[in-house]
Amino acid sequence: MTKNTANPQVIEHFAKDSSHWWDEDGPFKPLHLMNPTRMEFIVAQLKAAKAKTILDAGCGGGLVCEPLARLKYDVTGLDADAQAIKIAKDHAKLMKLNINYKCELIENHKEKYDAVLALEIVEHIDDWRNFLKFCLNRLNKNGILVLSTLNKTAKSFLFGIVGAEHILGLVPKGTHNWKQFIPPAEIAAFLRENGFELMDLKGITMNPVDNSFALSDRDLSVNYILSAKRS
């Protein structure tokens, strides 16, 4: 029997804030601030791979799907939170964007794509390896995976949990569990075991003075983003 990739408690945690996905000062403010930097990396990888069809696995309210749709990519967004999908559909309609949103788990989705995005999601999944196997299986022969998450370091605990959740209140308390943060070396090893290799790996750093984010070649200590293709 296939193990379900979704944790009902995690879905419930995010669902209570789903109506605020497009509130730039709301509970998803860090993702809004980080989005331009994530998009810089994502679009560069998609162009290099000549990708056209994109699956955003764990799309939430569509913060990444919408800018990709504006760039004329064929975008599908999946999420286990029905409320988030409703918000995503309503906002896309308001913006006059054609995006295929589905409230569906990755293991139940059968289409294949030129690129699969797994952004800020694996740290919320009990068995991230199982989830990523499904992501890899949704790729076309020359398809790429783009993944972003949090490293498992003392600094990520300080910034990602103590600072973001308890001091600054940038995200609701209980959003992250440091035990589920993943070092990039573990992701890379998993990819190699499954016939994939890293294409690119960058840190995503935050400037606390103006809350801006930037890509870094050296600092992977908190957030990082990577791309991978078949070996």
Phi and psi, residue 161, nearest 5°: -115, -60
- The pLDDT, as a whole number, for residue 174 is 72
Is the pLDDT at 41 greater than 80? The verdict is: yes
Mean per-residue pLDDT for 67-80?
A: 98
> In DSSP terms, which residues pair with 32 in a beta bridge?
none
- The pLDDT, as a whole number, for residue 189 is 98
- The pLDDT, as a whole number, for residue 1 is 37
pLDDT digits (tens, 9 = 90+) for 163-176: 666 656 667 777 77
Is the pLDDT at 52 greater than 90? The verdict is: yes
| Site of tokens 């293709």 | 229
Starting from the edge strand earliest in sequence, which strands make up the sheet with 100-103, in order? Answer: 100-103, 74-79, 53-57, 113-119, 139-150, 223-230, 196-207, 212-216
- Which sequence spans correspond to the domains of the chain? 8-230
Mean pLDDT of the chain: 92
Q: 3-state DSSP call for residue 221?
A: coil
Q: Indicate the pLDDT class of residue 104, thresholds 50, 70 and 90.
A: very high
Phi and psi, residue 15, nearest 5°: -60, -30
- Assign domain 8-230 to its CATH architecture: 3-Layer(aba) Sandwich (3.40)
- The pLDDT, as a whole number, for residue 72 is 98
